Amino acid sequence: MLDRNKITIRTLFDKVTKGEPISWLTCYDYPTAYFQEQAGIDMILVGDSLGMTMLGYDTTLPVTMNDMIRHTQAVRRGAATVFLVGDMPYMSYQPSNETAIRNAGRFMAEADCDSIKLEGGGEMADRIHAIASAGIPAMGHLGLTPQSVSALGGYRVQGRGALQAKKIIDDAKTLENAGAFCILLEMVPDRVTKIITERAENCIIMSLGAGPDAHGQLLIYHDMFGLYPKFKPRMAKVFGNAGEVILNGLTQYANEVNDKVFPQSENWFTIKDDEYEELLDLLK
């Protein structure tokens, strides 16, 4: 069993100060959360990517607050010490500051989160400020922001052109000034990430496919283990092919049932002879 104290914002900033990278993964369920905590992962994001990885939608847009709360609660039950981030789903914060505070509050009160994350640049500074002012640690998300995938023209690297890169750098500073304690950069070029990280004064910069110079790294769990059949993003490193292992096991099970190889005597339960005789008498 892992023996460690609860990871807090202070723990994360201490790691930054010491130059120790922060490890972060997505997770959506109890057993995976348990394993991630045992592995010593610092942070977990219950991402609205669960709409795709767990619920089979093509985008994250149909995910609701209730979906998010249910999965986040399960994750917290499996990983009491991780720094838990709830991802605000589509339209849970865009309409108004009040909507944003209420829904961020649900993550904290109902799912025992340590922070929330929301997508968007300078235009979301007001939401970040409102949530942070309500005492809820707020995290920004720049670069590829899946809730705006239609406006961005697909899942593609953001900030390859100088003007767009400058906008991402400016947005990062605006979010930091609005009160974001952390910003995730997704699919942003490495040298842009480096500039943002060097300029961050009181803000942790995390990378998802945005290079090595951030304060820490995020990966999507399903991409790490070949568990999402529809595609594998280029930036994801596969650490093991659990999808293949599971598919092989399932195929073997189906074959063994068909061939009457499964079950064997160790896979079922028996009744004692005398009880069985009595049963037969009772049934007469």
Binding site for ligand KIV (CB under 6 A): 26, 45, 47-49, 87, 146, 184, 186, 208, 220
User: b/e string for 142-155 if b means 16 or more Cβ within 10 A?
Assistant: bbbbbbeeeeeeee
Q: Is 227 exposed, middle or buried (0-12, 13-18, 19+ CB in 10 A)?
A: middle
**Residue entry with tokens 């809730």:** 147
Q: CB-wise, 120 or 146, nearer to ligand KIV? A: 146
186 a catalytic residue: yes
Whether omega before 263 lies within 30 degrees of 0, making that bond cis, reads yes
The residue sitting closest to ligand KIV, measured at its beta carbon, is 47
Rg (CA), the chain: 23
Q: CB-wise, 84 or 184, nearer to ligand KIV? A: 184
Q: CB-wise, 14 or 21, nearer to ligand KIV? A: 21
CB of 8 to ligand KIV, least distance (A): 21
**Cβ neighbours of 104 (radius 10 Å):** 28
| Nearest Cα residue to 119 out of 161, 59, 70, 163 | 59
Q: CB-wise, 26 or 158, nearer to ligand KIV? A: 26
CB of 261 to ligand KIV, least distance (A): 40
Q: Is 220 exposed, middle or buried (0-12, 13-18, 19+ CB in 10 A)?
A: buried
CB of 282 to ligand KIV, least distance (A): 57
Q: Catalytic residue among 37, 186, 277, 278, which?
A: 186
CB of 186 to ligand KIV, least distance (A): 5
Contact 46, 72 (CB under 8 A): yes
Q: Indicate the SS3 state at residue 64.
A: coil
Bridge partners (DSSP) listed for residue 97? none
Contact 132, 183 (CB under 8 A): no
CB of 145 to ligand KIV, least distance (A): 8
Q: CB-wise, 58 or 281, nearer to ligand KIV? A: 58
Q: CB-wise, 132 or 208, nearer to ligand KIV? A: 208
d(CA 86, CA 78): 15
Contact 119, 94 (CB under 8 A): no
d(CA 229, CA 139): 29
CB of 45 to ligand KIV, least distance (A): 6
Q: Which residues are catalytic?
A: 186
